[in-house]
C-alpha cells in the first residue's frame, strides 16, 4: 500500500502519543502546516485507511457527548513510518501564491508587483511572529525545534527579500521615469 504524505504526518504524530483526529489537526495547525498542511478532510479518511491497513488502531473515547476515537500506532505503522523516514526525501516543493502572482505580473505591465511584494512581506512577517510566539510559549524540543528555527529563519529571509525586491522595482521605476 502506497501512503500519502498526510498518512505520514498522521503516523509521525501518533508516534509521539495516541490522539484523536481533532488533536492531530490541532497540532498540524501549530506545527507542520507552515510547510506541510493537512485538513480534516484529509486526516479523517487517512485515519480510516491507516486503520484498515493495520497501521493504526482506533478506540472510541467519547468526550462531552461527542464521538471521539483515539488512535495509536501499531507495530506495522511504526515500521512504515521508520521506512519512510530512512528513505531519501522525494518532494521539495514550495507552493506560494505570491510568487505565482509575481511570476505573471507582466500581465499587468508590472503594476501588480509592488502590491504583491508588500503583501508577501507582511505574510512572512506574520508567520515569523506566530512562530516566535510558539517558541516563547511552548518551545518544542529536539528535531521539532530545529524545524521551528528553520521556519523562523526562512520567513525572515523571505520578508527581507520582499523588501529588497520592492526597493529594486521602485529604483527601476524611478530610473525609467527620469
**What are the tens digits of pLDDT across the range 135-163?**
999 888 899 999 999 999 999 999 999 99
Domain C-terminal end among 86, 117, 145: 86
Assigned C-alpha cell, 35: 510547510
pLDDT of residue 155: 97
| Residue (of 27, 20, 3) closest to 147 by Cα position | 27
14 and 81 belong to one structural domain: yes
pLDDT of residue 63: 81
Q: Are 128 and 152 in contact (CB under 8 A)?
A: yes
- The yes-or-no verdict on residue 65 having pLDDT over 80 is no
Name the band, by pLDDT with cuts 50, 70 and 90, for residue 101: very high
Check which CATH number belongs to the domain holding 39 and give it. Answer: 1.10.10.10
- Of 41-45, 94-98, 145-149, 166-170, where does mean pLDDT reach its minimum? 94-98
Assigned C-alpha cell, 16: 509521539
Assigned C-alpha cell, 28: 498540524
64 and 109 belong to one structural domain: no
Q: Are 161 and 98 in contact (CB under 8 A)?
A: no
Rounded CA-CA distance 52/61 in Å is 19
CA torsion through residues 153, 158, 162, 168, sign: positive
pLDDT of residue 178: 75
pLDDT of residue 115: 97
Task: Say if 142 falls within a structural domain.
Answer: yes
Q: What is the greatest pairwise CA distance in the chain?
A: 72
Mean pLDDT of the chain: 93
- The yes-or-no verdict on residue 1 having pLDDT over 90 is no
pLDDT of residue 31: 87
Task: Say if 91 falls within a structural domain.
Answer: no
pLDDT of residue 15: 95
- The yes-or-no verdict on residue 34 having pLDDT over 90 is no
User: ∠ CA(63), CA(38), CA(141), 5° rounding?
Assistant: 80
Containing structural domain, residue 147? 97-177
Task: Say if 51 falls within a structural domain.
Answer: yes
82 and 121 belong to one structural domain: no
Amino acid at each position: 500500500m502506497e501512503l500519502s504524505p498526510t498518512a505520514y504526518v498522521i503516523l509521525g504524530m501518533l508516534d509521539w502519543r495516541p490522539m484523536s483526529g481533532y488533536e492531530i489537526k490541532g497540532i498540524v495547525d501549530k506545527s507542520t502546516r507552515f510547510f506541510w498542511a493537512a485538513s480534516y478532510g484529509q486526516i479523517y479518511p487517512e485515519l480510516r485507511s491507516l486503520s484498515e491497513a493495520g497501521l493504526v488502531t482506533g478506540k472510541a473515547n467519547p468526550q462531552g457527548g461527542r464521538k471521539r476515537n483515539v488512535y495509536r500506532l501499531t507495530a506495522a505503522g511504526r515500521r512504515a513510518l521508520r521506512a519512510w523516514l530512512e528513505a531519501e526525501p522525494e518532494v521539495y516543493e514550495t507552493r506560494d501564491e505570491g510568487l505565482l502572482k509575481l511570476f505573471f505580473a507582466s500581465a499587468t505591465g508590472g503594476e501588480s508587483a509592488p502590491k504583491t511584494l508588500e503583501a508577501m512581506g507582511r505574510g512572512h512577517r506574520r508567520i515569523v511572529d506566530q512562530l516566535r510566539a510558539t517558541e516563547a510559549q511552548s518551545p518544542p524540543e529536539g528535531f521539532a525545534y530545529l524545524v521551528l528555527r528553520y521556519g523562523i529563519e526562512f520567513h525572515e529571509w523571505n520578508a527581507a527579500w520582499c523588501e529588497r525586491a520592492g526597493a529594486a522595482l521602485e529604483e527601476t521605476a524611478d530610473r525609467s521615469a527620469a
